């Protein structure tokens, strides 16, 4: 518990530094590109178009799901997935990538995964605005269900922070882990529901129930529940408790490993 409290304190104590570093990271990533920060929107937009042509037009024949065209249904899920995928991979490599900073000065290393998560919000929020605009175009009604988006957003940030801290620590200790994580995320893309509905794929019921325990699936479906006014989060109490229990276990393990090994991170790298 002491390790968890210390990690959380570091995030709030250095909140200003996190925001400044996230802004610098955005500019540094795209400073050599002609279109600059515009690629934060163009890159996911191009990928969305590709997935829509393949899975929407090609496979699903643009049928409606939950009362909206496939494109709108897919856009809600894939926007969340793009943000979570980039944040998980970026956070995983954050400490190893900043080894120079870690080695030369006394630095709150635990904020590095958070910096990446905050930095990716600069591309997530414009995509979220596009999602909302698309809902209006498809004449989806704004209801009180939309308010619970805030709950699922908190779920997403909490999970990414816990998972990012654990991944960043393991990546320093075992460099091959980052490559392994990339492969796992490619698999999760197809079983977490951003581009296809696992409930309507004639999968065995036990397998569907198992896939629904996936934290990524819980968040993606939660956003759809909100924007499409399908259900309240307390109607999925069992899955919600499993999600928060999983997040807590990951956070406890990540905090313990991080505090135990961070004094020797430079030696491992």
Helices marked H in the chain = 2-13, 15-30, 39-51, 70-92, 94-97, 99-104, 111-119, 121-137, 149-173, 176-191, 205-211, 215-227, 237-261, 265-268
pLDDT at site 53: 67
pLDDT at site 152: 95
Question: Which letter does DSSP use for residue 1 in this model?
Answer: -
Please tell me which residue, 101 or 123, carries the higher pLDDT value. Answer: 123
pLDDT at site 159: 96
pLDDT at site 10: 84
Q: Is the pLDDT of residue 251 over 70?
A: yes
Q: How confident is the prediction for the chain on average, in pLDDT?
A: 82
Neighbours of 128 (CB within 10 A): 18
H/E element, 152: helix 149-173
Residue 84: pLDDT band (50, 70, 90) is very high
* Token pair belonging to 31: 């400073």
Q: Is the pLDDT of residue 148 over 90?
A: yes
**Locate tokens 């024949």: which residue?**
61
Counted domains in the chain: 1
Residue 3: pLDDT band (50, 70, 90) is confident
Q: How many CA atoms lie within 13 A of 142 on its CB side?
A: 7
What length does the chain have? Answer: 269
Range of the domain at 79: 1-267
Out of 32-41, 47-56, 127-136, least confident range: 32-41
Residue 199: pLDDT band (50, 70, 90) is confident
CA 189, CA 91: separation in Å to the nearest integer? 18
pLDDT at site 56: 54
Please tell me which residue, 14 or 244, carries the higher pLDDT value. Answer: 244
What is the mean pLDDT of the segment spanning 210-227?
91
pLDDT at site 87: 92
């Amino acid at each position: 518990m002491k390790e968890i409290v210390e990690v959380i304190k570091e995030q709030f104590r250095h909140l200003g530094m996190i925001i400044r570093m996230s802004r610098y990271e955005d500019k540094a990533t795209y400073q050599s590109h002609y279109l600059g920060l515009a690629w934060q929107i163009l890159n996911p937009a191009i990928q969305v178009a590709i997935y829509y042509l393949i899975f929407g037009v090609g496979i699903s024949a643009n049928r409606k799901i939950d009362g909206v065209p496939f494109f709108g249904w897919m856009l809600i899920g894939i926007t969340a997935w793009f943000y979570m995928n980039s944040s998980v991979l970026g956070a995983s490599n954050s400490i190893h990538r900043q080894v120079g900073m870690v080695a030369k000065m006394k630095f709150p290393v635990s904020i590095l995964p958070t910096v990446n998560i905050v930095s990716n919000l600069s591309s997530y929020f414009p995509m979220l605005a596009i999602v909302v605009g698309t809902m209006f175009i498809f004449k989806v009604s704004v209801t009180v269900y939309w308010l619970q988006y805030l709950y699922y957003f908190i779920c997403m940030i909490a999970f990414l922070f816990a998972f990012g801290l654990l991944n960043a620590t393991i990546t320093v200790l075992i460099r091959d882990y980052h490559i392994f994580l990339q492969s796992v995320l490619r698999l999760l893309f197809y079983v977490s529901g951003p581009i296809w509905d696992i409930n309507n794929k004639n999968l065995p019921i036990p397998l569907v129930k198992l896939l629904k325990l996936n934290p990524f699936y819980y968040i993606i479906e939660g956003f759809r529940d909100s924007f499409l006014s399908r259900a309240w989060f307390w109607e999925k109490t069992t899955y919600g408790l499993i999600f928060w229990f999983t997040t807590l276990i990951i956070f406890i393990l990540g905090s313990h490993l991080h505090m135990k090994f961070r004094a020797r991170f430079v030696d491992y790298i």
